[in-house]
Every structure is written in structure tokens, then in C-alpha cells.
Amino acid sequence: MLTGHHLIAGREAAADHAPFQAMNPTTNQKLEPFFGEATADLADEALQAADGAFDSLRMASAETRAALLDHLADEIMALGDALLERAHQETALPMARLTGERGRAIGQCKMFAALIREGSWAQMSIDLPLPDRVPAPKPDVRRVLLPIGPVVVFGASNFPFAIGVVGTDTVSALASGCPVVVKAHQAHPGTCEMLSRAVFNALRKAGLPDGCFSMLHGRCHDIGTELVKHPLTQAVAFTGSLKGGRAMMDVAAARPHPIPFYGEMGSINPVFLLPGALKERAAKIAEGYIGAVTMGVGQFCTNPAVVLGIKGADLNTFIHSAGEGAQKVAPQTMLHRGICETFEAGTAVWSTIEGLKLAGQSAAEPNNEASQAACRIFTTTLDVLESNEELQREVFGPCSIVAAADSLEEMLTFARGLEGQLTAAIHGTTEDLREYAALVRVLERKAGRIIFNGFGTGIEPCASMHHGGPYPAASHSFFTSIGTGSIYRFVRPVCYQGFPDDCLPAPLQNANNAGAMRLVDSTLTRAAV
């Protein structure tokens, strides 16, 4: 049964300040119970508890932390259909989508458990001493990655499981040995409470202190600001809008001791259609494009918002097919009324721009009372796209623009002027890819992930995935918020010189009991020293 309480290190704190309720976006009905705004005092209590639990978590064995994640996977599953039903009520996401996302969240727990059990992720490096070296002896020097301390997590509205309370940010931080304080998403607070209780159950089964985790509610920016500026916070993970992310990023940078802010803030994810692909399969590409634009009602940060091709009959075929495809897409309910209103306002602005035409939209009218959005595909020329900044800003939802260029050189010029992107896609033949290799070279400087003959929607959580990109897509292009590489946001290297073997962290000791891969005198090996 939901209480609406803040959950601080296992303690339930009544949420009676500025109470609010979740809304069912399909029916506009308020959902029980009431939640409330967390205060600065509660933020301090949560972070004090996290700091107090830090040593217990970071000194716990890799097996203990892995067991925590295994228990968490079990606890998520144990919530059963009640979790799916509450998330469906709060987000309008289909039950099939939520079931799949729950599987992804569970899979991420197990993926990180396997990562830390194996151990090589911590990048151990050992340089053995040479006491007889002249003119000066070489000391014993060893380096390993260690957790940094309490992490604050802001989850996403569009992924309540996989990028939320038990999403990649939380799971990778706990795996590294960092306690977590989550700011619950205001659009699905009941889902956040259920998942937070699962975290506490997992901590207790693993024998770890409740202070390793807390969850605070809030709708306004005040509680987020309090969490980011708190002196005990050591890093922040954020998924959301550029406006909100930049505000928190500035708070993190303005602290007396600035901390890393890992923000994933969206992009327009350009798609480039090369001549060979358009000639061979324009209609087929258009079919996949409409599927990507409307997947999840367009509520993905990797939604293909801009498509470029060289003007001509083949591009016209693509535009015609995309317009017809858009007409067949039924309007669907968005995550909450605020997102729907922003979508409508954004596309309304587009509709006033001279030279931008509607190529196709959902044949059925959206039900505004149910926060529905219709698919809308626009078409224009590249010069109109380039001369209107409004067309190069993300409008979150099922809309996109197809722009016609006069030449490849014009497409290259546009690509060179792009801001940082999470993804960029190229559709072409193998010959196209070779002939237009210059486009790939440009996109390597602009995007975190480049896709050939596909679209950015649909992310595979794995070791090779990079979900990030140059600013403003993300706050730091080196780091990913999806996949096992996300753990590196919450650690830093520590070097030990001249330490006795039994006083070193276990991963650096001579025995190498975990059998992890280590760099010993510049050679990778799993052998003991």
C-alpha cells in the first residue's frame, strides 16, 4: 500500500509540505495518495545517512554488492503486476512496453552484478618495484578505481523503471560502492515509492545499511537544488530537459567545491539519407522512420527529429511514403499533460514558419482530454531549416522534419554546424558509405553514437553502448548513461605507493583472488603477482 512518504535510510517521513497527487494522463483523474515537497532538512538527513553508510558499502566485497543487485532484481520482480498497473496509471505507457522495460531494469541489475563479480572493470594497474635500479630505485606503485561517495540521481519521465529509481544510474552507483539519494519523478511518484521499497528490501537481504539509499519527492526545483548543492553530494546523474539539466549543472559548478554533473539532455538526432539507399528503398526507409518517430509516442531522447536528403524524385518518394505512414498512426496519450501541452505548443510554432509544410499527420483527431498527440511530419528545404533556430530544437513527441538539400556539400555544411547529438544516423549502401566517408568524419565530432541503416531509438544496454555526446546532448561527452561504462561516472583513480601487500585494497593485492584482468608491468594478465 502506498503511503506517499519520503523514504530516508529506511525511515518513513511524512510528506505533508505542499501536497500534490499523481495524475492519470489518460483520464485526468488524480491518484491516491498525496505526496509532498521534501525540505532542505530532509535532503540533509538523506545525505548525512548516505555519507554515514559510505564506508560500509565501499568496503563491502564485490560479492556482497553483486548479491545486492541480484536481490534487487528479485525484489523488482516480486512487486508483480501491481508495479506495472501503477506505472501504467501514472504514465499511460502500455502494459507490454512496461513489462519489457521491467525486464530491462532486471537485466541491468544482473549485468552490473556480473561486471563487479568479474572485477576487471576497476582497471587495476601494478608496477612492481626495482630496488636496484640506478640512478634511483623504482617504488612499488599500484592504481585502482574507487567509489567517490554519495550520488544524487534524477530519473527520467519516459523510463520509470530503466532510467529511474532502479535504473542505470542507481544500479551503477551502488555497484561501484556509492550510496544513492534519488529525487523521485513528480509524474510517477507512486511507482518511485514502490521501487524504493524494493531497494530497501534488497539492502537488508544483502546485510547492507539502509543509509545506502534514500528517496525524496518534489515537484519544484528547490529540492533538486538542495540535493545538488549539499556539501556531501559527490556527483549527480540527471536525465531530462536541457533547461532543467543546465540549471542543475550550473548549481553543481557554482558550489565552493564543484562536483561532476552527468546530464543527458536530449538532441534532434539527425538522419542523413544518401542517394544509393533512397534509390533502392525509399519507401522501406520511410516505414522504419515513422516507426521510430512514433515509438513510445515520440517520447525518446533519441527520436529522429530532422532528416536530410538530396532533393529529387527519390527523396519525394520518401516524403510521400512518410506522409502516408503518418496518417495511419493513431494519436496516443503522452506521459503527462505538461509534455502534451509543450508538444502542441512546439509544433504550433513550427506551423507558422514560412516554407515549412505538413507532409502528413495522423488521420484521427487527438483527444486533448486524454493528453493525446498526433504524429506530424513536416517538410522543407535546407535553407529554411538552417535559418530558423526553432526547427533545430528538440520538440519532445511524435514529430519530425524532412529537409531537402541541393547537394552533399550542403548536407556536410549542415552537419558541421550541428550542436552535440546523442545519435546520428546514415542510410546508404556500402558504396554510399565509402563515397561519402567525409560525412562520417564530421559526425564523429558531433554525436555519441552513429547508426548505419537504422535509427537511434532502441538502445542495447551493453559494454559497447555509448549514450551521451558533446554538449548540449550531454554535459560530458566522455561518459555514458547506459551500459556498463556508466559505472565510471562514480569512481576515481587512487594510487598506492610502497604499501604492504595486506594493507592494499583486495583488487591490488598480489594474490588476485578474483582472477580479474590487471595491467602488471604494462602486460595484461589474470595471474597472481
| 3-class secondary structure, 381 | strand
Instruction: Pick the catalytic residue from 178, 301, 375, 399.
Output: 301
Helix and strand counts by DSSP (H, E) for the chain: 15, 23
**CB-side neighbour CA atoms (13 Å) of 120:** 12
Angle between helix axes 221-229 and 40-59 (nearest 10 degrees) is 40
Cell readout for 520 is: 602488471
Task: Return d(Cα 236, Cα 148) in angstroms, integer.
Answer: 11
Asked whether 117 and 513 are in contact (CB, 8 A), the reply is no
Task: Return d(Cα 458, Cα 415) in angstroms, integer.
Answer: 23
Task: Return d(Cα 225, Cα 221) in angstroms, integer.
Answer: 6
Task: Return d(Cα 53, Cα 330) in angstroms, integer.
Answer: 50
Residue 301 a catalytic site member: yes
Task: Return d(Cα 119, Cα 93) in angstroms, integer.
Answer: 37
Which residues have CB under 8 Å from 454's CB, separation 6+?
288, 425
Which residues are bridge partners to 309 per DSSP? 273, 404
Q: State the residue for C-alpha cell 538522419.
A: 271
What's the distance, CA 371 to chain centroid?
Answer: 24
What's the distance, CA 140 to chain centroid?
Answer: 40
Asked whether 487 and 108 are in contact (CB, 8 A), the reply is no
Residue type, position 457, single letter: T
Q: Burial of 40 by CB count in 10 Å (0-12 exposed, 13-18 middle, 19+ buried)? A: middle
What DSSP line would sit under 78-99, residue for residue?
HTHHHHHHHHHHHH---HHHHH
List alpha helices for 184-307, DSSP H.
189-205, 221-229, 242-254, 275-294
The DSSP code for 130 is B
Instruction: Pick the catalytic residue from 264, 344, 394, 410.
Output: 264
Residue 399 a catalytic site member: no
Cell readout for 222 is: 528547490
Task: Return d(Cα 157, Cα 187) in angstroms, integer.
Answer: 7
Q: Is the peptide bond before 135 cis (omega within 30 degrees of 0)?
A: yes
Length of the chain: 529
Q: List residues with catalytic annotation.
A: 264, 301
